A and B are shown apart, each in its own frame.
Chain A
Amino acid sequence: MNQFKELSWQGLWKNNPAIVQLLGLCPLLAVTMTVINGLGLGLATTLVLIGSNCTVSLVRNLVPNEIRIPVFVMVIAGFVTVVQLLMNAYTFRLYEALGIFIPLIVTNCAIIGRAEAYASKNPVGHAAFDGLMMGLGFTLVLLILGGMRELLGYGTLFSGANLLFGEWASVLKITVFESDSPFLLAILPPGAFLGMGLLIALKNALDKRVESWVVKPEQDKVVQRARVTAES
């Protein structure tokens, strides 16, 4: 059980794929114009992560080391196709809104990173849970960034919820303020980079603050690794 707790902590905060490993930045920056777009892409990525982590973990003893990367990519591409077709069938308007970024999940380094660093070395249960937590961590960042940009740019939250959840969800839309001159920078790509930078800074500041509260009795010498993906 303890290991599951550790996996959650790693995926959601300490080794968050979006703001610590900085993987999958392209979709992260491109689609987070609204909360719902972010949520849609985040859920799709989570599904792919769970599926690919499971499969990679199952075949980890069958695949020769030399050709593991192509095999992993094929597995991921398969799952992305499944998710893409599912979204095309059930959430067509969101599928249209996200456009090219759904097929591009296949190039999201967070997924192949987890397959290589974790799933190919661990049993199925752990790998699936790791996929779930990493996906949720990614989704969380997409949600926050989407929220920040939507709030600043359009003055709304959860607009277009009906694209994801069906017609009843139109009532979820919250209009915080109405402005004749929206803050376009927040919606444009530079706003995504600025918002991302501020999020990372916030996380680092929080970490530092917590560290200064918890006074460690003794510090063991830890060999630091440059590649964060290989940490767990």
Chain B
Amino acid sequence: MRLVMYAGIPGLAVQTWFFGWGALIHFLIASITIIVTEAAILEMRKKNFEVAIKDCSALVTAFLIAVSIPPFAPWWITVIGSIFAIAIVKQLYGGLGFNLFNPAMAAYVMLLISFPVQMSTWAIPQALSQFPQSFMDSFSIIFSGFSADGYSIEQLRTHVDGYTMATPLDALKTAISQGMTVQESMQTSVFNNGLGVGWFWVNFAYLLGGLLLLKVNVIKWHIPVGMIAGISVLSLFMYLIDDGIYASPMFHLFSGGFMLGVFFIATDPVSATTTNRGRIIFGLGIGAWVYIIRTWGGYPDAIAFAVLIMNMGVPLIDYYTRPRTYGHRTEHKNVIKVKQIDED
């Protein structure tokens, strides 16, 4: 699991470059909370917590929570999310290896429905911001709600020209609901050549990290390929039908947290399916759900919802994709036939 953390470094660095130090500070808060929670609960369950903490799986959860929540979110958001992820989603189900749902994503959804305001005020790219933040600014925002110079979060989200900016996915959704076309909405300054400013590079960095993980065999190719195929096919199909109201596959692949989701979230070995065929179906399902919720749902991005929905489908997928037993040509039919012959 430590390798997963290393592979996440480029993404985290790019995110810090574009959106300020928030993600890094949240990572520190989340790590401390998660280690303390995990140790406390394992101690209550009379288990050895040193091994559990050294395997870094909890730190990966901390990392995912920290990079998913908005950099401006107050500190208690991370603390509540981290405790929920470890105590309820992971340890109550039996600890590492037994959780049905991805802890980080379950915590993210819990935070999103509990604190919609804090969870939807995302930072804007530093290059476009009226007030770029220093490390002290980010620190001060997370712990007090105001930057070191006394600017509020709303002020920090204003463009150099003085208006509040949304994330690319949010901006596109709002524009389309107001009757604009995709091309018109992409004239605003959050976009650059049809892709979100900053967001493209964040996604690109996670893509690089993910390819590294594939290279060193920490994850397998099935889930990422399935997920990318799922969203590409659906979005290409809708894009070809009407490119006025449906954004291009390229935009979907490099927006929001998609690449983070593809390589770091969906590939969680515990809550994903266990068979290779199943992994492809699992990935396809997540990709399709992300597209469906982004396009027709109420939320701008949907990695967490898509992952949780497909987590629920994992037992079913596992059941139908059981691999062939060694020595049998196809799985169940032959077993029944052999029995019948015996009875005859």
Contact = CB atoms under 8 A, between A and B. Distances in A.
Interface in B98-145: 110, 113-118
A111 B88 CA distance: 33
A181 B88 contact: no
Nearest to B74: A181
A181 B118 CA distance: 8
B113 A185 contact: yes
B108 to A, nearest CB: 13
A188 B111 CA distance: 13
A40 to B, nearest CB: 26
A183 interface: yes
Contacts of B118: 181
Nearest to B115: A181
B113 A181 contact: no
B115 A184 contact: yes
Nearest to A183: B114
Nearest to A188: B113
A185 B117 contact: no
Interface in A156-205: 181, 183-186, 188, 190, 194
Contacts of A183: 114-115
Interface residues of A, number: 8
A197 to B, nearest CB: 8
A161 B51 CA distance: 51
A37 to B, nearest CB: 20
A181 to B, nearest CB: 5
Contacts of B115: 181, 183-184
Contacts of A194: 88
A188 B118 CA distance: 18
Contacts of A186: 114
B113, B114, B116, B118: most-surrounded residue (chain A CB, <10 A)? B114
B190 to A, nearest CB: 26
A188 B113 CA distance: 9
Interface in A79-135: none
B30 to A, nearest CB: 19
A182 to B, nearest CB: 8
B70 to A, nearest CB: 14
A184 B88 contact: no
B218 to A, nearest CB: 33
A230 B114 CA distance: 41
Contacts of B110: 185, 190
A186 B113 CA distance: 10
A1 to B, nearest CB: 42
Nearest to A185: B114
B117 A184 contact: no
Interface of A: 181, 183-186, 188, 190, 194
17 contacts: A181-B115, A181-B117, A181-B118, A183-B114, A183-B115, A184-B113, A184-B114, A184-B115, A184-B116, A185-B110, A185-B113, A185-B114, A186-B114, A188-B113, A190-B110, A190-B113, A194-B88
Nearest 8 CB-CB pairs, A to B?
A185-B114, A184-B114, A181-B115, A183-B114, A185-B110, A184-B113, A185-B113, A181-B118
Given A181-B118, A184-B113, A190-B110, 14 more contacts: A181-B115, A181-B117, A183-B114, A183-B115, A184-B114, A184-B115, A184-B116, A185-B110, A185-B113, A185-B114, A186-B114, A188-B113, A190-B113, A194-B88
